[in-house]
């Protein structure tokens, strides 16, 4: 069985201003290593209506703060594996 170690992560959104990414909300700690994923303006994808509804509900739950920690997620995944 392969094991994977996931470090805690923080999600941040930002905007490019003058060639630099300006992060919204709480500041990231000095020296933080970040990965930037930029959306293509003309890139789209399609999903079935039932999957779209599930995705939108998941986003709404996250917006309401109804989330679990990475540790809890990994524990749940271990139980069903």
Domain boundaries, the chain: 14-80
* Whole-prediction pTM: 0.40
Q: What is the pLDDT of residues 24-45, one digit of tens each?
A: 877 778 888 888 877 777 777 7
Band (6; pLDDT cuts 50, 70, 90): low
Rg for the chain, CA atoms, rounded: 17
Query: In the prediction, which pLDDT does 5 show?
Result: 64
Contact between residue 6 and residue 71 where contact means Cβ atoms under 8 Å apart: no
Q: What is the pLDDT of residues 53-66, one digit of tens each?
A: 998 998 899 899 88
> Quick one: how far is CA 48 from the chain centroid?
21
């Amino acid at each position: 069985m392969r094991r994977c170690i996931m470090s805690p992560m923080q999600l941040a959104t930002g905007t490019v201003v003058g060639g630099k990414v300006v992060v919204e909300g709480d500041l990231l700690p000095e020296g933080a290593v970040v990965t930037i994923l930029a959306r293509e303006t003309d890139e789209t994808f399609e999903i079935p209506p039932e999957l779209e509804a599930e995705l939108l509900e998941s986003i709404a739950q996250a917006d309401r703060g109804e989330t679990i920690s990475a540790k809890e997620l990994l524990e749940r995944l271990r139980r069903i594996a």
